[in-house]
Structure 1
Amino acid sequence: MPKIRDSRVLIVATDGFEESELFGPREMLMAMGAQVMLASPDLRPIQATVHDDPGRTIRPDVRIEDARSADFDALVLPGGVRNPDALRMNKPAIALIREFAQAGKPVAAICHGPWLLVEADLVRGRKVTGWPSIRTDLSNAGAKVVDEPATIDGNILTSRNPDDVKPFTEALVELIESSASA
């Protein structure tokens, strides 16, 4: 089984991501030895939000259309409202999310990030969670919605909000280390 220190994790985000939901998992994973890369629609720095206020920026490592699931062990989809809302309309982003899921690799989405799982048609029949305002969307897409800090159903991991970054990341580490496909 792979260890987190040997893993490669891809984060997909664009402007409007919730700062702690990208930087938190990224820093925790890197501290454990994982290689973490960021993909975005282009390579210009992207702007975080802290709730509704501007946050830090970060420069992507790769464009979404150039990223391949075969090069990574897991995918992380941070929330924020604008970030997943914009990425839902990005065909290469949705294709990449489906590629990870079809390969059986962990796909982890937090807060509003599960919107992307709805767009990729990955929640039907699965137990998931997310930010309260998207739970109806999750349910309408066929998911069984729960209210838990970190919910794993197969290779899909979902979480509710910025306060859940630690249990979300711990659950991701568990998924990566138990994943036969990594």
Structure 2
Amino acid sequence: MSAPKQLAGKRIAVLAADGFEKAELAAPVAALREAGADVVIVGLHAGRIRGMDVQQAAELVAVDLEMSQARAPDFDGLLIPGGYISPDLLRQSAQARDLVRHMDALGKPIAVLSQAPLLLASSGLVTNRTLTSWPGVRDDMVNAGAIWLNEEVVRDLNWLSSRSAEDVPALVRAMIPFFEGQSEAGATVRRAQSDPQRQEPSETPGQPLRWLATPSVGAMLSLALLGIGVVASNRVRRQKQAMPAEPEPPPAQ
């Protein structure tokens, strides 16, 4: 008889919006399900959300539960993938902020990746907490009162944070025992000061842009002609709207 899976009976919410980083959702979700967890994708709206592979569009993912229906007591943990767009959309949602605050108040484990700590900051939760994030939002975390560490994975009480998509394997290794409820035996040692900001930006986000095809002259001309056509069409429509209506002919005697 096989041993029970580590996260059997655990219900984990994955909070994401359009523009989530594909690798930061797909790999952790697969690992959670393999460990026996019931994974629920929570989105700002019903339907599907679009992932991103850095700056390129990736697959659509079905939303299991709308944000308006998500309740913190119904879940045993929360995972928030990063990305350049998703965390920014989530931090603007009062319902998302309320859900995160409630999960934290209940002491539920919360795992965040790359830019996802922006939601924690907008929820007013990062003061005096230790975490990591995508280096590009390091100053946002520090200015919000957090201690920021330049490490693959940081554990602080009921929070587990990871720096980037490149650190997902380390996050996955730490995530299963974290959601299982194991103690902080391997937690990050708290420090008095944050690690410094990087001196040079990472080349990883910009690398795909170097390989995008250069538009051909024909494509550029087609776009220009399309733009001219749209402008001309709008001008004609405005002119017609500005013209006085023709008087109706008198009724026949």
- Asked if TM exceeds 0.5, the reply is yes
Structure 1 match to 2:159: 156
Question: What is the DSSP-based 3-state SS (H/G/I as helix, E as strand, rest coil) of the residue aligned with 1:10?
Answer: strand
Q: Structure 1 CA distance, aligned partners of 2:167 and 2:54?
A: 15
Counterpart in 2 of 1:11?
Answer: 14
Identity %: 34
Structure with more of its chain in strand, by fraction: 1
CA–CA distance in structure 2, aligned partners of residues 70 and 141 of structure 1: 27
1:50 aligned onto 2:67: no
SS in 2 for 1:148: coil
Mapping for residues 28-67 of structure 1, pairs under 5 Å: 28-67=31-70
Contact kept in structure 2, 1:106 and 1:179, CA below 8 Å: no
2:58 aligned with 1:82: no
**Relative contact order, higher structure (CA 8 A, sep 6+):** 1
CA contact (8 A) 2:6 2:36 kept: no
Q: Does 1:73 align with 2:76?
A: yes
Alpha-carbon deviation of 1:58? 0.6
Partner residue of 1:94 out of 93, 97, 100: 97
Q: What amino acid is aligned across from residue 101 of structure 1 in structure 2?
A: D
Deviation at 1:6, TM superposition (A): 2.2
1:172 aligned onto 2:175: yes
Q: CA deviation at 1:179?
A: 5.9
Alpha-carbon distance in 1 for matches of 2:9, 2:152: 26
2:136 matched to which residue of 1? 133
Aligned length: 179
User: Is the contact made by 1:106 and 1:172 (CA closer than 8 Å) also made in structure 2?
Assistant: no
SS at match of 1:6: coil
CA apart distance, 1:178: 2.1
Distance 1:176 1:32 in 2: 10
Name the CA distance, whole Å, in 1 between partners of 2:174 and 2:41: 20
User: Per the alignment, do residues 31 and 3 of structure 1 end up closer, same or farther by CA in structure 2, a change over 3 Å counting?
Assistant: closer
CA distance in 1, matches of 2:181, 2:49: 32
Match of 1:144 in 2: 147
AA at the equivalent of 1:148: E
Q: Distance in 1 between matches of 2:95 and 2:141?
A: 22
Show structure 1 runs of 5+ residues with no match: none
SS in 1 for 2:17: coil
SS at match of 2:18: coil
**How far apart, in 1, do the equivalents of 2:34 and 2:177 lie?**
15
- Judged with a 3 Å threshold, the aligned counterparts in structure 2 of structure 1 residues 179 and 92 are, in CA distance, closer, same or farther, namely farther
The normalised TM-score by structure 1 is: 0.94
Deviations 1:29-66 (CA, angstroms, capped at 9, x unpaired):
10111110101011121000000000011110000110
SS of the equivalent of 2:112 reads strand
Per the alignment, in what secondary structure is the counterpart of residue 166 of structure 1?
helix
Does the Cα contact within 8 Å between 2:6 and 2:35 map onto a contact in 1? no
Q: What amino acid is the match of 1:87? A: L
CA RMSD of aligned residues (A): 1.4
1:27 aligned to 3, 26, 30, which one? 30
TM-score, structure 2 as length reference: 0.68
- Give the greater-gyration-radius structure (CA): 2
